[in-house]
Structure formats: C-alpha cells, structure tokens
Amino acid sequence: MITLHDIAYVRSGTADAKAAAAFAVDVVGMELVAQEDGVTYLRADKRHHCLAFEEGEAGVLASAFSLKGPDELEAAEKELQAAGVEVARGTPKQARSRRVEDFIAFDDPFGNRVELVHGQVQLARPVHFGRPAGITEFGHICFDAPDVKEAYAFWSAHFNIKVSDWIGDWACLMRFDPVHHKLAVFRGSEPGLCHINFQVDSLDDVMRNWRFLQAKGVEIEMGPGRHPQSTAIFVYFKGPEGLTYEYSYGVRNLGDDWVPRVFDPTEPDAIDMWHGPIQRTQTQPQLRRPLPA
C-alpha cells in the first residue's frame, strides 16, 4: 500500500505564461515565486509552489502527491510496477525543476499523469499574496475521468485512499487524511484537470472573492453555493486556457468511523445545497507526453 502524505503541486502547460501568471497573482491571489527555464512557479502556502506553468502547449502536464521519504518512493515504484503500471523515475534536472528531491511518474488508468514526490521544498517566509483573497492552503485536486468507479478502484487498490462520498457515477471524493477530500474525480469524457482548490479563511472571503471575480469579468462556473458532501461553501471560476480554480471554506474533517454516502446526481441539491446552476465548461485536457526517460 502506498501512503500518500499530501498533495504537492499541479504542473500545467501554457501558451501564454504572462497571462497565466498574471491571473494566478492578480486574480487568484497567489505569490509569484520565480520564473526560470520557461517555468513560472506560484505558491499559496508553505510549499515552494503548488502551481507551475511550463511554456508550451496549454493543458495539464501532471498532478503530484508527496510521500514521506526516499524509501517510501522506492516502495511505491516497486508496488506500481508489480501491478503492471509503467513507472518512470524523474531525472535530477526534472526533480530540480519540480523543487523536489526525487519523483516518479505514471499514468492512471485513464491517462491522467500523476507524480509521486518526496522532499518537496518548503519556504519558511510568509506567503506574499498577490491580493487578499484569504487563501489558507492548497486544498485539493480534481481529475476528469470517464469512469469514477474504476478510478476509485485504482486509487483504493494501491494507495491509502478511502472514498468519503459519491455523487452517483458523476464524482468520487477521496481522502487519505482526516480532510474530507484532497483528491476527487469527476466524470468527463477525457482525462484532464477538473479544477484545483484553494481553501480560504472565512465565508466572507468566499463572498468577497465572488464579488471581486464578477467585477473583474471573470467567468464564474458555479457558486456561491454549498457542497453537501464536505459542507464547504464554494465558488468555481475559470482562468486562462481553461484552468478552473475553486475557492472553498469549511471543508469538514472525518473520523475513521465515517460511512461513505451516495448522493443522487439528478437531485437539484446533489452538488449545491443552495440549488445554484451547475455548468460544466471545457476543462484543461491532459497533455499526453512520454513518461520521463
């Protein structure tokens, strides 16, 4: 069993790094940490970065989770290989570009590229937020996949992943620590990045951010609303090149005795207890690249 410690980062391709970074800083509120070798690094909490934009074609390149250390990384590599999953180890140069000690990469059964890392660099200095959005931390990653049950079968077979709640066959919300979910899978025809989530400090932050986004003419995908699953109050919005961001406040923690629930996706409050409109626009497609050599 591979023990995930935390989420680490999302790496996304961009055809316009300037616009992607400007949105991440001036709208989302992240800190621009560095721009180096065609990669723009953005942070929102203690991690060196939780979002990296690599110049090139637009689309998601990889989503990463951290493990405890080198022994755990090696064991993970062996376990995945034994299960018939093709795994590649990153080169020192690629690890440096990710600000990690070492990493491995593989594709989930649908083609979502996942990286497992150890030794992600932390920055001790406080985050110099681009604007006061109230971000407290990088909250969760949501993939697109055509079959959420099969996605859960994969994650639960190899990782310390438990399902927290199902939204029928539309979505699976998964945890590996007390937080209701740090990984989710939403049904989509192709692999891709459904959204990245940032936790904010208060309900007021969600509502202030919603007003701010509206005033800036940013496309609001969903919200403000309240998810019945985590009980979080949310707003989803679209950044450049189809990257969807979510702010949320109030995600619940679960105990070991939690029994996963099933929500009927055809009910009007299955995703939003306040019955807001749900619109799904094109999300960021997974860019297909060979695994690191």
Ligand X SMILES: CC(C)c1ccc(C(=O)O)c(O)c1O
- The verdict on 205 binding Fe ion (CB under 5 A) reads no
Non-local (6+) Cβ contacts of 138 within 8 A are 7, 9, 44, 45, 47, 50, 196, 197, 198, 199
Residue ranges in 240-279 that form contacts with Fe ion under rule CB under 5 A = 246
How many residues of this chain interact with Fe ion, rule: CB under 5 A? 2
Of 132, 137, 62, residue with least CA distance to 287: 62
**Cα 227 from chain centre:** 17
Q: Which two tokens stand for residue 109?
A: 């059964």
Residues 6, 182 contacting (CB under 8 angstroms): yes
Site residues (vs ligand X, CB under 6 A): 142, 171, 173, 184, 186, 197, 227, 229-230, 232, 246, 248, 251, 271
CA distance 274 to 271: 9
Smaller CB separation from ligand X, 120 or 283: 283
Choose the contact partner of 232 out of ligand X, Fe ion, none; CB within 5 to 8 A by kind: ligand X
Q: Rounded to the nearest whole angstrom, what is the least distance from the CB of residue 195 to Fe ion in the complex?
A: 6
Q: Which of 197, 230, 283, 284 binds Fe ion (CB under 5 A)?
A: 197
Smaller CB separation from Fe ion, 113 or 180: 180
Smaller CB separation from Fe ion, 103 or 155: 155
Query: How many alpha carbons lie under 13 Å from residue 58 in its C-beta half-sphere?
Result: 14
- The verdict on 229 binding Fe ion (CB under 5 A) reads no
Residues 95, 103 contacting (CB under 8 angstroms): yes
> What Å distances lie between residue 278 and 29, 220, 260, 268, CA to CA?
25, 10, 23, 9
- The verdict on 12 binding Fe ion (CB under 5 A) reads no
Q: Rounded to the nearest whole angstrom, what is the least distance from the CB of residue 239 to Fe ion in the complex?
A: 15
Choose the contact partner of 286 out of ligand X, Fe ion, none; CB within 5 to 8 A by kind: none
- The verdict on 102 binding Fe ion (CB under 5 A) reads no
Choose the contact partner of 67 out of ligand X, Fe ion, none; CB within 5 to 8 A by kind: none
- Chain residues that interact with Fe ion, rule: CB under 5 A: 197, 246
